[in-house]
Amino acid sequence: MHLEKLGWSSYWERILHETHQTITLSRESTSAGRVVAAHRGWLDTETEAGPVRVPGVTAAVGDWVLIDPTAPRILAVLPRRSHISRKSAGGRTEEQVLAANVDVAILVMGLDGDFNLRRLERFLVVVEESGARPLVVLNKVDLCGDSESQLHLVRTVARAVPVVVMSALRDDVAELLSQHLCAAESAALLGSSGAGKSTMLNALLGEDRQPTQAVREHDQRGRHTTTTRQLIASPQGWLIFDLPGLREVQLWAGRESLDAAFDEIAELAKSCRFRDCRHQGEPGCAVTDSVATERLDSYHRLEREIESLDRRRDGLAEQEEKRRWKQIHKELRHHPKFNR
């Protein structure tokens, strides 16, 4: 496969040249490739010479990598232009990269039991942090009796982010998305299980590539049908990240991304009486006077989550610094120069 069809450009050619100089490897002994699928313990890559499977989990789907095809192994991961991440599940304070070098993050939400404005706000913060362009897709319009009112609610949350309303079973998905995607761009389908991502992907590919299942009748929750992260070339010339449904999205983001996703709060805050106003009942607060209670409560909830994440990251950084200095002192004690 030609690398241009995978998104290769003069930008990546320049980055590759700089990487070769940094790790002092000859161009003849290496191959550039893109990670197109991630499995447990190994990765599938596509190079100019064809597919290469490499062991390890050192890269994410969408990464451009430098490969030693004879080993085979990954020698370097080229610096990412963007990446979508979340905090790893459980108690660990670690970043989990879901997709790398994403141009457009398509946030898919069903207009059925999947409809959830608070989850959409969380996803918008994730995308703001990623560096990708957000696009909201409201799917299953055929199951919604009042799509106009739902669309109005979404626009109060999405703000300037473009919104597409569709039914992946009935509408021309490619035509609706073509206004927001360019050739060779990479788009990630993000959303909960049951939002209709696999149905959308099948419509784009013109074949039943991914299995689909109906949502559960008693709670309208979806079932996981996609289990592997992969990057798929579409007939339209786009590259589509097919990712498993995300039922839990713990933030791996900073305050700037929160303020960007809730830009009206950041703007109103400039008019608060007190510069350090927390928008929690202080007198003269312009935010509490103008923002809906549910929206402001969501902002505060995400704000507390980010503050907690920052404290944990700062604590880990401090522990690492202490370990580093402890190792330095240990090496100095055993250095001949200091033991004469």
Which residues does residue 35 pair with via DSSP β-bridges, in sequence order?
45
CB atoms within 10 A of CB 154: 21
DSSP assigned state of 57:
S
pLDDT for position 13: 92
pLDDT for position 27: 61
Tokens 């706000």 correspond to 121
CA distance 145 to 171: 17
Pairing of strands 104-110, 133-139: parallel
Q: pTM here? A: 0.85
Pairing of strands 42-47, 73-77: unpaired
User: CB burial class (10 A; 0-12, 13-18, 19+) of residue 82?
Assistant: buried
Q: Residue 62: what residue type?
A: G
pLDDT for position 30: 85
pLDDT for position 245: 77
CA distance 3 to 19: 17
Query: What tens digit of pLDDT does each residue of 85-144 get?
Result: 999 877 788 999 999 999 999 999 999 999 999 999 999 999 999 999 999 999 999 998
Among candidate residues 91, 118, 101, the one with its CA nearest the CA of residue 15 = 101
- Ranges under pLDDT 70 in the chain: 1, 24-28, 209-227, 316-321, 325-326, 328-340
Classify each residue of 270-284 as buried b or exposed e, where b means 16 or more C-beta atoms within 10 Å of its C-beta: eebeeeebebeeeee
Measured at the CA of 199, the angle between CA 237 and CA 114, to 5 degrees, comes to 125
Residue 36 three-state SS: strand
pLDDT for position 225: 52
CA distance 178 to 171: 13
Helix and strand counts by DSSP (H, E) for the chain: 8, 13
What tokens were used for 308? 């907690």
Pairing of strands 64-68, 133-139: unpaired
Q: Domains along the chain?
A: 3-77 (2.40.50.140), 83-242 (3.40.50.300)
pLDDT for position 224: 47
Count how many Cα atoms sit within 13 Å of the Cα of residue 257 in the half-sphere of its side chain.
24
Residue 250 three-state SS: coil
**Cα dihedral 300, 304, 306, 310 sign:** positive
